[in-house]
Amino acid sequence: MPKIICKAYGKINLTLDVLGKRPDGYHDILTLFQGISLYDEIILTKVDPDVEELVLTCDLAGLSTGPDNLAYQAALLLRENFPQIVGLRIEILKRIPLAAGLAGGSSDAAAVLLGLNRLYNLELSMKELGKLGARLGSDVPFCLNPLTLIGEGRGERLSEAGNPCPELWLVLCKPPFGVSTKEVYQHFSEVQVTQRPDLAGALVGLQSGDRKLLYASLGNNLEDATFALYPQLSIWAQEITALGAEKVMMAGSGPTLMAFVKNKKEAEKLKSSFEKPNWSVEVVRTITSEDLKGRMIAVE
C-alpha cells in the first residue's frame, strides 16, 4: 500500500508581541517564528476505500482522533476539492506534548497537507497549501515550512526574516498541565504588559550572529497573562534561570518554558538538573533547511 511518512516539526516564537484585538475576535500579533527539532511523525496510507474511508489513529491516549482533530480536518479540507482522497489511514506518532504552546496540532495538519499533496500528486504550490492551512489555524501556514519567518496578522501572514536562525540549543520544560489559549488571550486585556520583545533587535542579532543581543531582544508578552493565571510558572522560570540558562521565556501561550543554553552539553546538564515527576523535559535545537530535506519519505 502506498504511503507517505512526514515529520511534523514543532515551532517556537522567538519573539511574540500581541497587539490590538481585531473585529473578528482574534488578536493581531507580530512574531518571529522558528521550527525546532522535536517532531510528531505522520503516516499517510492509501487503503481499500470499501474497508476504510478516512481513519485517524494516534499512539497517545487522550488525543481526539475524530473530526475535531486538525489533522483529520486537513484531510477533509483537501477532499473538498479532490474527491479522490478516499481510502486513507492517518497515523500520528505523538512526540510534541499536548497543549504546550508548540503548535503540535497545527504541525500535524501541515504535515497532512504536505503528505497528501505528494501521495495523490495534487501538484498544489506552497502558496496554495498555505491558503488552505490558514483556514485550519493561524500556525498551520508556518508549519508547512518551519524556518525563520516573521508572522503578522493572526500569524498567517509570513515574510522572510533575512538571515536564518543559527543553531540554538534549548530545553523545553512543560509542567503536567495545559493551558487554554483562548483563556490566555481573554485575560491578556486585563493585565499590564511589563516588557515587549524587540523584533528589530532580534533580526540584527540574527544577521550579526550576536547571541547576546539576540537573547536580550527575545520575549513573549503573553507571559504576563499566563503567569497571572498560573503564578507558579514564574517561580519555575526563576528556578530554571538559576540552573544556568542564558534566557528563559514561555513558548506561545504556554505553559511550556524554554531555556536557551550555550550548547547541547549544557542542555543535557540542565535537563538532568530540572527533572520533575510528570513533567515533559526535552532537549531540542533550532532546525535549518537541511533538516527539511529529509522531512518526507515515500514508501510503495
As a whole number of angstroms, the distance between CA 225 and CA 220 comes to: 10
Q: H helices within 14-172, ranges in order? A: 70-81, 104-119, 126-136, 140-144
For residue 21, give the C-alpha cell: 484585538
What distances in angstroms separate CA 48 from CA 51, 88, 213, 220, 270, one per listed residue?
A: 5, 8, 56, 47, 49
Considering all CA atoms of the chain, what is the largest pairwise distance in Å, rounded to the nearest integer? 59
Among the listed residues 11, 174, 247, 271, the single catalytic one is 11
Question: Does residue 11 have an active-site annotation?
Answer: yes
> Which grid coordinates belong to 223?
507571559
| Amino acid in the structure at residue 199 | L
Could you say which of 139, 198, 224, 291 is catalytic?
139
E-strand stretches of 176-294: 219-220, 247-250, 257-261, 280-285
- Report the distance separating Cα 129 and Cα 120, nearest Å: 14
293 is catalytic: no
Which run of H or of E encompasses 205? helix 199-208
| Residues with catalytic roles | 11, 139
